[in-house]
Amino acid sequence: MSNHLLSLLTQWRDLKDEANWVLGTVYKTEGPAYRKSGAMMLFSDAGHQLGMLSGGCLESDIHLHARKAIVSQRAVTLTYDGSDEDDVAFQLGIGCGGTVYILLQPLTERNQYLGLLQVVDALHDYRKGYYFQKISNKDIVARFMAEPMHSDHPSLRAQLLVQDDGLWLCTPIKAPLHLLIVGGGIDARPVAQLAHQLGWRVSLWDPRPANGRREYFPHLAQRLSGEARELSDYCLTHHVSAAVLMSHNATLDAEALAALAALAGAELKYLALLGPVNRRERVIELSGIDTGKLPVPLSGPAGLDVGAELPETIALSILAECQAVITHTSARSLSGISTTGEMRRHGI
Protein backbone atom coordinates (compact mmCIF):
# COMPACT_ATOMS: atom_id res chain seq x y z
CA MET A 1 0.00 0.00 0.00
CA SER A 2 1.22 3.47 -0.86
CA ASN A 3 2.16 6.15 1.68
CA HIS A 4 0.76 8.91 -0.52
CA LEU A 5 -1.73 11.10 1.36
CA LEU A 6 -4.58 10.05 -0.94
CA SER A 7 -4.02 6.40 -0.10
CA LEU A 8 -3.80 7.09 3.64
CA LEU A 9 -6.92 9.23 3.74
CA THR A 10 -8.90 6.78 1.61
CA GLN A 11 -8.09 4.00 4.07
CA TRP A 12 -8.90 6.22 7.03
CA ARG A 13 -12.22 7.34 5.58
CA ASP A 14 -13.38 3.73 5.34
CA LEU A 15 -12.36 3.12 8.98
CA LYS A 16 -13.07 6.49 10.61
CA ASP A 17 -16.22 5.34 12.43
CA GLU A 18 -14.67 2.13 13.74
CA ALA A 19 -12.25 3.78 16.19
CA ASN A 20 -11.05 7.10 17.62
CA TRP A 21 -8.36 8.73 15.50
CA VAL A 22 -5.46 11.15 15.75
CA LEU A 23 -3.69 12.95 12.93
CA GLY A 24 0.07 13.10 13.38
CA THR A 25 2.02 15.68 11.37
CA VAL A 26 5.71 16.55 11.14
CA TYR A 27 5.59 20.33 11.41
CA LYS A 28 9.33 21.08 11.63
CA THR A 29 12.69 19.35 11.32
CA GLU A 30 16.23 20.41 12.14
CA GLY A 31 19.15 18.58 10.59
CA PRO A 32 18.70 15.27 8.75
CA ALA A 33 15.28 13.62 9.06
CA TYR A 34 13.61 10.69 7.30
CA ARG A 35 10.34 12.60 6.69
CA LYS A 36 10.05 16.34 6.17
CA SER A 37 7.58 19.00 7.26
CA GLY A 38 4.06 18.22 6.12
CA ALA A 39 4.39 14.43 6.41
CA MET A 40 1.20 12.97 7.90
CA MET A 41 0.20 9.76 9.65
CA LEU A 42 -3.03 8.48 11.22
CA PHE A 43 -3.28 6.58 14.52
CA SER A 44 -6.30 4.99 16.20
CA ASP A 45 -7.06 3.60 19.65
CA ALA A 46 -7.82 0.29 17.91
CA GLY A 47 -4.17 -0.02 16.91
CA HIS A 48 -4.24 1.32 13.35
CA GLN A 49 -1.13 3.06 12.03
CA LEU A 50 -1.53 4.48 8.52
CA GLY A 51 1.59 6.02 7.03
CA MET A 52 5.01 6.89 8.45
CA LEU A 53 6.52 9.84 10.32
CA SER A 54 10.01 8.37 10.63
CA GLY A 55 11.93 5.39 9.36
CA GLY A 56 9.89 3.22 11.73
CA CYS A 57 11.74 3.98 14.96
CA LEU A 58 9.39 6.58 16.46
CA GLU A 59 5.94 5.37 15.46
CA SER A 60 5.30 3.16 18.51
CA ASP A 61 6.19 5.95 20.93
CA ILE A 62 4.13 8.47 18.95
CA HIS A 63 1.19 6.06 19.10
CA LEU A 64 1.35 6.07 22.92
CA HIS A 65 1.07 9.86 22.91
CA ALA A 66 -1.72 9.65 20.33
CA ARG A 67 -3.76 7.48 22.70
CA LYS A 68 -3.29 10.11 25.41
CA ALA A 69 -4.44 12.81 22.99
CA ILE A 70 -7.60 10.79 22.32
CA VAL A 71 -8.36 10.54 26.04
CA SER A 72 -7.65 14.21 26.78
CA GLN A 73 -9.09 15.51 23.49
CA ARG A 74 -6.27 18.02 23.36
CA ALA A 75 -3.61 18.65 20.78
CA VAL A 76 -0.10 17.50 21.66
CA THR A 77 3.29 18.60 20.36
CA LEU A 78 6.28 16.27 20.57
CA THR A 79 10.00 16.77 20.01
CA TYR A 80 12.43 13.96 19.19
CA ASP A 81 16.11 14.92 19.24
CA GLY A 82 18.22 12.21 17.65
CA SER A 83 21.48 13.90 18.65
CA ASP A 84 20.75 13.99 22.40
CA GLU A 85 21.75 10.80 24.24
CA ASP A 86 19.20 11.60 26.96
CA ASP A 87 16.33 12.06 24.52
CA VAL A 88 13.91 9.22 23.86
CA ALA A 89 14.60 9.55 20.13
CA PHE A 90 18.26 8.67 20.68
CA GLN A 91 17.30 5.74 22.88
CA LEU A 92 14.82 4.50 20.29
CA GLY A 93 17.59 4.50 17.72
CA ILE A 94 16.51 7.29 15.38
CA GLY A 95 19.21 6.98 12.78
CA CYS A 96 19.19 10.38 11.12
CA GLY A 97 20.52 12.35 14.09
CA GLY A 98 18.25 15.32 13.47
CA THR A 99 15.39 16.80 15.47
CA VAL A 100 11.78 16.13 14.54
CA TYR A 101 8.80 18.15 15.77
CA ILE A 102 5.39 16.46 15.63
CA LEU A 103 1.84 17.71 16.14
CA LEU A 104 -0.93 15.32 17.25
CA GLN A 105 -4.54 16.38 16.70
CA PRO A 106 -7.61 14.28 17.64
CA LEU A 107 -10.05 13.77 14.78
CA THR A 108 -13.73 13.82 15.73
CA GLU A 109 -17.08 14.45 14.09
CA ARG A 110 -17.38 17.46 16.40
CA ASN A 111 -14.29 19.14 14.89
CA GLN A 112 -15.39 17.98 11.41
CA TYR A 113 -12.40 15.66 11.19
CA LEU A 114 -10.22 18.75 10.73
CA GLY A 115 -11.23 19.09 7.11
CA LEU A 116 -9.65 15.79 6.03
CA LEU A 117 -12.83 14.67 4.26
CA GLN A 118 -12.55 17.76 2.05
CA VAL A 119 -8.88 16.97 1.46
CA VAL A 120 -9.55 13.41 0.27
CA ASP A 121 -12.40 14.59 -1.97
CA ALA A 122 -10.11 17.21 -3.52
CA LEU A 123 -7.38 14.63 -4.15
CA HIS A 124 -9.84 12.28 -5.84
CA ASP A 125 -11.03 15.16 -8.03
CA TYR A 126 -7.47 16.23 -8.98
CA ARG A 127 -7.92 19.55 -7.17
CA LYS A 128 -4.98 21.26 -5.51
CA GLY A 129 -5.03 23.31 -2.35
CA TYR A 130 -3.42 24.02 0.99
CA TYR A 131 -3.96 22.43 4.39
CA PHE A 132 -3.51 24.72 7.39
CA GLN A 133 -2.88 23.37 10.91
CA LYS A 134 -2.48 25.47 14.02
CA ILE A 135 0.57 24.42 16.04
CA SER A 136 -0.77 24.34 19.59
CA ASN A 137 -0.95 22.25 22.74
CA LYS A 138 -4.51 23.45 23.30
CA ASP A 139 -6.45 24.40 20.19
CA ILE A 140 -7.36 21.70 17.69
CA VAL A 141 -7.72 23.72 14.52
CA ALA A 142 -7.14 22.87 10.87
CA ARG A 143 -8.73 23.76 7.56
CA PHE A 144 -8.40 23.01 3.88
CA MET A 145 -8.38 25.75 1.25
CA ALA A 146 -8.87 24.54 -2.32
CA GLU A 147 -7.37 26.20 -5.37
CA PRO A 148 -9.34 26.58 -8.60
CA MET A 149 -9.42 23.39 -10.71
CA HIS A 150 -6.97 24.70 -13.31
CA SER A 151 -4.88 26.97 -11.11
CA ASP A 152 -1.26 27.35 -12.18
CA HIS A 153 -0.20 28.65 -8.77
CA PRO A 154 3.07 26.91 -7.89
CA SER A 155 2.84 24.33 -5.11
CA LEU A 156 5.48 25.04 -2.48
CA ARG A 157 6.86 22.79 0.21
CA ALA A 158 5.20 22.80 3.61
CA GLN A 159 6.14 25.88 5.59
CA LEU A 160 5.49 27.47 8.96
CA LEU A 161 3.58 30.74 8.97
CA VAL A 162 3.50 33.21 11.84
CA GLN A 163 -0.01 34.70 12.11
CA ASP A 164 -1.64 37.04 14.62
CA ASP A 165 -3.30 34.06 16.33
CA GLY A 166 -0.19 31.87 16.47
CA LEU A 167 1.97 29.51 14.42
CA TRP A 168 0.47 27.60 11.50
CA LEU A 169 1.77 24.87 9.21
CA CYS A 170 0.74 25.30 5.57
CA THR A 171 1.05 22.08 3.56
CA PRO A 172 0.46 21.97 -0.22
CA ILE A 173 -2.10 19.35 -1.22
CA LYS A 174 -1.89 17.89 -4.71
CA ALA A 175 -3.15 14.73 -6.33
CA PRO A 176 -0.74 11.89 -7.10
CA LEU A 177 0.86 11.62 -10.50
CA HIS A 178 -1.40 10.00 -13.11
CA LEU A 179 0.47 7.64 -15.44
CA LEU A 180 -0.87 6.39 -18.76
CA ILE A 181 0.63 3.13 -20.01
CA VAL A 182 0.18 2.33 -23.70
CA GLY A 183 0.31 -1.43 -24.12
CA GLY A 184 -0.78 -4.13 -21.70
CA GLY A 185 1.86 -6.78 -22.30
CA ILE A 186 3.86 -8.77 -19.77
CA ASP A 187 6.52 -6.10 -19.29
CA ALA A 188 3.86 -3.46 -18.57
CA ARG A 189 2.76 -5.34 -15.44
CA PRO A 190 5.72 -4.34 -13.22
CA VAL A 191 5.44 -0.75 -14.48
CA ALA A 192 1.81 -0.62 -13.36
CA GLN A 193 2.49 -2.42 -10.08
CA LEU A 194 5.47 -0.29 -9.10
CA ALA A 195 3.66 2.92 -10.05
CA HIS A 196 0.73 1.84 -7.87
CA GLN A 197 3.08 1.21 -4.94
CA LEU A 198 4.48 4.71 -5.46
CA GLY A 199 0.96 6.03 -4.95
CA TRP A 200 0.47 7.02 -8.58
CA ARG A 201 -2.78 6.55 -10.43
CA VAL A 202 -2.38 4.26 -13.42
CA SER A 203 -4.48 4.02 -16.58
CA LEU A 204 -3.78 1.64 -19.42
CA TRP A 205 -4.72 1.77 -23.13
CA ASP A 206 -4.58 -1.28 -25.37
CA PRO A 207 -7.21 -2.08 -28.01
CA ARG A 208 -6.11 -5.73 -28.17
CA PRO A 209 -8.57 -7.89 -26.17
CA ALA A 210 -5.91 -10.33 -24.96
CA ASN A 211 -3.81 -7.58 -23.37
CA GLY A 212 -4.27 -5.54 -20.22
CA ARG A 213 -6.44 -8.14 -18.49
CA ARG A 214 -7.76 -7.15 -15.07
CA GLU A 215 -6.16 -10.12 -13.28
CA TYR A 216 -2.74 -8.88 -14.37
CA PHE A 217 -3.48 -5.19 -13.76
CA PRO A 218 -5.67 -5.18 -10.62
CA HIS A 219 -5.06 -1.58 -9.54
CA LEU A 220 -5.86 0.39 -12.67
CA ALA A 221 -7.80 3.63 -12.41
CA GLN A 222 -9.09 2.95 -15.92
CA ARG A 223 -8.64 0.30 -18.61
CA LEU A 224 -9.07 1.94 -22.05
CA SER A 225 -9.57 0.11 -25.34
CA GLY A 226 -11.16 2.65 -27.69
CA GLU A 227 -9.64 4.56 -30.58
CA ALA A 228 -6.19 6.07 -30.02
CA ARG A 229 -7.48 9.55 -30.88
CA GLU A 230 -9.65 9.39 -27.74
CA LEU A 231 -6.52 9.48 -25.58
CA SER A 232 -6.17 13.24 -25.97
CA ASP A 233 -9.51 13.95 -24.31
CA TYR A 234 -8.89 11.33 -21.65
CA CYS A 235 -5.53 12.81 -20.70
CA LEU A 236 -7.01 16.31 -20.51
CA THR A 237 -10.05 15.41 -18.42
CA HIS A 238 -8.18 13.02 -16.10
CA HIS A 239 -5.05 15.14 -15.61
CA VAL A 240 -2.56 12.60 -16.96
CA SER A 241 0.94 13.86 -16.20
CA ALA A 242 3.09 11.02 -17.60
CA ALA A 243 2.79 8.50 -20.41
CA VAL A 244 4.88 5.48 -21.39
CA LEU A 245 4.43 3.93 -24.85
CA MET A 246 5.31 0.23 -24.66
CA SER A 247 2.84 -1.72 -26.80
CA HIS A 248 5.59 -3.49 -28.80
CA ASN A 249 3.55 -2.55 -31.86
CA ALA A 250 4.96 0.35 -33.84
CA THR A 251 1.58 1.29 -35.30
CA LEU A 252 -0.18 1.40 -31.92
CA ASP A 253 2.65 3.39 -30.36
CA ALA A 254 2.57 5.79 -33.32
CA GLU A 255 -1.19 6.29 -33.02
CA ALA A 256 -0.85 7.00 -29.30
CA LEU A 257 2.07 9.36 -29.91
CA ALA A 258 0.04 11.31 -32.47
CA ALA A 259 -2.84 11.62 -30.00
CA LEU A 260 -0.55 12.81 -27.21
CA ALA A 261 1.11 15.31 -29.55
CA ALA A 262 -2.17 17.25 -29.49
CA LEU A 263 -1.85 17.96 -25.76
CA ALA A 264 -0.14 21.35 -26.05
CA GLY A 265 -0.63 23.29 -22.82
CA ALA A 266 -1.87 20.22 -20.92
CA GLU A 267 -0.45 18.76 -17.71
CA LEU A 268 1.71 16.13 -19.43
CA LYS A 269 5.25 16.39 -18.04
CA TYR A 270 6.85 13.10 -19.12
CA LEU A 271 6.52 11.13 -22.36
CA ALA A 272 8.58 8.01 -22.97
CA LEU A 273 8.89 5.40 -25.71
CA LEU A 274 10.27 1.91 -25.06
CA GLY A 275 12.82 0.51 -27.47
CA PRO A 276 16.05 1.45 -29.24
CA VAL A 277 16.74 4.58 -31.26
CA ASN A 278 15.92 3.01 -34.64
CA ARG A 279 12.50 1.95 -33.35
CA ARG A 280 11.90 5.46 -32.01
CA GLU A 281 12.57 6.91 -35.44
CA ARG A 282 10.21 4.37 -37.01
CA VAL A 283 7.40 5.23 -34.57
CA ILE A 284 7.88 8.96 -35.12
CA GLU A 285 7.75 8.45 -38.89
CA LEU A 286 4.53 6.42 -38.64
CA SER A 287 2.95 9.01 -36.35
CA GLY A 288 3.49 11.78 -38.90
CA ILE A 289 4.17 14.34 -36.17
CA ASP A 290 6.77 17.03 -35.75
CA THR A 291 8.57 16.12 -32.50
CA GLY A 292 9.35 19.77 -31.98
CA LYS A 293 5.65 20.33 -31.37
CA LEU A 294 5.30 17.68 -28.68
CA PRO A 295 4.14 19.07 -25.32
CA VAL A 296 7.31 17.66 -23.72
CA PRO A 297 10.54 16.10 -25.03
CA LEU A 298 10.21 12.44 -26.01
CA SER A 299 12.34 10.16 -23.81
CA GLY A 300 13.28 7.41 -26.20
CA PRO A 301 14.82 5.05 -25.35
CA ALA A 302 12.86 5.30 -22.11
CA GLY A 303 14.48 5.23 -18.70
CA LEU A 304 17.75 5.79 -16.87
CA ASP A 305 20.88 3.74 -17.50
CA VAL A 306 20.80 1.43 -14.48
CA GLY A 307 21.82 -1.76 -16.25
CA ALA A 308 18.20 -2.88 -16.59
CA GLU A 309 17.60 -6.21 -18.31
CA LEU A 310 14.53 -7.74 -16.65
CA PRO A 311 10.99 -6.34 -16.88
CA GLU A 312 11.19 -5.33 -13.22
CA THR A 313 14.45 -3.41 -13.57
CA ILE A 314 13.25 -1.83 -16.81
CA ALA A 315 10.17 -0.64 -14.91
CA LEU A 316 12.44 0.78 -12.21
CA SER A 317 14.54 2.55 -14.84
CA ILE A 318 11.53 4.14 -16.56
CA LEU A 319 9.73 5.24 -13.40
CA ALA A 320 12.94 6.61 -11.88
CA GLU A 321 13.41 8.80 -14.95
CA CYS A 322 9.77 9.85 -14.78
CA GLN A 323 10.11 10.78 -11.10
CA ALA A 324 13.23 12.85 -11.82
CA VAL A 325 11.61 14.69 -14.72
CA ILE A 326 8.41 15.43 -12.80
CA THR A 327 10.33 16.73 -9.77
CA HIS A 328 12.97 18.60 -11.83
CA THR A 329 15.83 16.70 -10.16
CA SER A 330 19.10 15.39 -11.58
CA ALA A 331 18.76 11.62 -10.97
CA ARG A 332 22.41 11.63 -9.88
CA SER A 333 23.84 9.70 -6.94
CA LEU A 334 23.06 11.48 -3.66
CA SER A 335 26.54 10.61 -2.41
CA GLY A 336 28.23 11.85 -5.57
CA ILE A 337 29.76 8.45 -6.33
CA SER A 338 30.31 7.65 -9.98
CA THR A 339 29.38 3.97 -10.32
CA THR A 340 31.43 3.50 -13.48
CA GLY A 341 34.43 5.12 -11.83
CA GLU A 342 34.11 2.89 -8.79
CA MET A 343 33.91 -0.20 -10.98
CA ARG A 344 37.09 0.76 -12.81
CA ARG A 345 38.84 1.51 -9.52
CA HIS A 346 37.98 -1.98 -8.27
CA GLY A 347 38.94 -3.60 -11.55
CA ILE A 348 35.38 -4.65 -12.43
pLDDT greater than 90 at residue 235: yes
pLDDT given at position 157: 85
pLDDT at 155: 56
At residue 348, does pLDDT exceed 80?
no
Residue count of the chain, please give it.
Answer: 348
145/190 Cα distance (integer angstroms): 36
Task: With a cut of 80, say whether residue 264 has pLDDT above it.
Answer: no
Q: How confident is the model at residue 206 (pLDDT cuts 50, 70, 90)?
A: very high
Q: What percent of the chain lies above the pLDDT cut of 90?
A: 72
Question: In this predicted structure, which of 94-98, 147-151, 242-246, 326-330 has the lowest mean pLDDT?
Answer: 147-151
Segment 11-15 shows an average pLDDT of: 95
Q: How far apart are CA 94 and CA 87, in angstroms?
A: 10
Whether residue 254 is predicted with pLDDT greater than 70 in this model: the reply is: yes
Going from the N-terminus, what domains does the chain have, and what CATH number goes with each? Answer: 5-173 (no CATH), 178-327 (3.40.50.720)
d(CA 239, CA 140): 34
At residue 34, the pLDDT reads 82
- Give the per-residue pLDDT at 140: 94
The pLDDT confidence band at residue 280, using thresholds 50, 70 and 90, is: very high
What is the arithmetic mean of pLDDT over 276-298?
A: 93
Mean pLDDT of the region 150-169: 78
Query: Of 57, 93, 63, 97, which Cα lies nearest the Cα of 78?
Result: 63
DSSP string computed for 72-132: HT--EEEEEETT-TTSHHHHHT-SS--EEEEEEEEE-TTTGGGGHHHHHHHHHTT--EEEE
Residue 31 dihedral angles phi and psi, to the nearest 5°: 75, -170
Between 254 and 149, the more confident residue is: 254
* List of residues 6+ apart from 331 with CB closer than 8 A: 304, 320, 321, 324
To the question of pTM greater than 0.85 for the whole model, the response is: no
The pLDDT value recorded for residue 298 is: 95
Tell me which amino acid residue 262 is. A
Query: pLDDT: is 346 or 143 the higher one?
Result: 143
Average pLDDT over residues 127-135: 94
The pLDDT score that the predictor gives to residue 90 is 46
The pLDDT score that the predictor gives to residue 149 is: 47
User: Which pLDDT value is given to residue 96?
Assistant: 63
**What value does the mean pLDDT of the chain take?**
89
* pLDDT value of residue 93: 52
Q: What percent of the chain is predicted at pLDDT more than 70?
A: 88
The vertex-300 CA angle with 298 and 301, nearest 5°, equals 160
Q: What is the mean pLDDT of residues 141-161?
A: 74
How crowded is residue 206: how many other Cβ atoms within 10 Å of its Cβ? 24
